[in-house]
Chains A and B, each alone.
Chain A
């Protein structure tokens, strides 16, 4: 049975523990990369990650992008929305279509 993890700074993610998701508070990007690699090897199907946490380990996040599991999903942290999540969706449209034809006018 797979599980779901949430990574980020403690203040942003402690609430998710009540829902039954496994929370992994991280301090710095090195620790985050280690935890992410460990989670990917064990039985975690989805990893929710705060945008702030993902900003330091983009390389690691990209590594798992073309694998079926785990799905790394960015969520806004308590510090606010950096727009990174939406930007990633736009980037994927750009990758597929060649240019952002869907959401370009919204930005």
Chain B
């Protein structure tokens, strides 16, 4: 995607050109988006019929931006007799733009300022995967402003545009005819509201007790409070502090209040194309950030439990006890062209729910939530055996039932070619990828702890532990490729090993399913030349037929993936290797001004010298942002142990001294300080 200018507030965002305009064309993703719908696709400003050109763009914060513009084409110098400032921000779910026109001459001047407004009301999915789109719906001019609307049966989306100053309205926009005295200025504030109307004319959110935006404080105060609550980081390697600060701001920007829990906030998974609840990304990001900003995890767990599957539904790939993969509110979900209402096609989210619940309690001591979610967690654990173990052999498998609009792979590498043999063939169905077995193992072990300590059910705990142990034995036997000494990426439908060398086995170290005798061989592969690019571990190793340094899941490097791998390496005692990955990923973040990209190309570091971002990546992306936090936890060696925070730093020399102050948890607040000298290796 081209570098569009963006502002966001959780699941509401706007993308535009460098001059602030949104220009409609089928391949252009610019617009104002809310609830998975593009509410504005044209928003073009002109002065006396001339386009405006940017002199400067200042993005003061994630939710506000300022454009300095002049009419005409600035050549080698600018001699504008007028200029325009466009201040844009998001407030109460509305898109606001304050236009200021400055007359730089010593005469009064008459101006015609025009803003063209239109919309195609496209579902966000059709913007991500460009379809032919046309401007749709009706237009209505009234005293109060201009309304663009789109109706399909009772489904009704409306964009209301109004101005604080008088304007001439027509169905295609607004015109201001103004006279500005010498050296004076004029301004107006335009307000664009995205509304989801019911047949009775009310906005659905108003009738559901939704506060329409942040609870209470305005965004400025809210952001400073968020930053003040988070632990303070000081690191000799300045880049690490910069990336951490950017990470905190990006997490703040991704927060939104879900309809079902309107007074709490959780994260949208990524901007712009995943501005919604994605079960996997939400859980992983909470896991990554628990030592820093633990509150979101409670909301996320509660929300996923509310939306937990209760029936068999082939279209949505829903089963009782299963946790959702994706929720969308747009036209495609409403009319069942796509299954995200919500969609459950993922085999990893359900065990990871239990993993997060346990980890959350270990950090926060919030036993009440463990009690509140007991039935949901039990149903999730039951799902693994009843609906995940498709072949009755004790493994977690997936077999899509929605072939038309569902995902073909029900794991984080969900693109069709991601799960493959070394020779490039794609296995039949069902498939059991290796990391799913690790998650199931971990879920059972953690579920056992919850059952014993909180649910008063030691017999259930024993059973879960026994199952986990059997799974571990079986897994180390069936997935291990003897000659090559690594774990197969998956088992295929005949129980054969899908033998590609991939990053997935790094997650196995995180889950703890790897027999200790095999861990060194796994670590060697992860840090070896085929998987490690110098910027991190590739999703798929070089030498595999499907490897492509720009392949979404078959060669790129993903920061979130690397953070889990580093944490897993540390768990098995590979401190130096964990540090090497942390260093590589922070080094890469330097090229992106501290904003961790979703993925970057798998090119050898020596070849390109700088990490090449993946072209269509989300930014910010919640789980990529989360990588920063889990990598810091890894090098500082932060672990809750009973009521205490244990700090065992293993800091690579490039980091220098790290101080993390005010780490929240069941202990109140604690500090962690580490420096390279303290490293054991």
A and B together in one complex: no
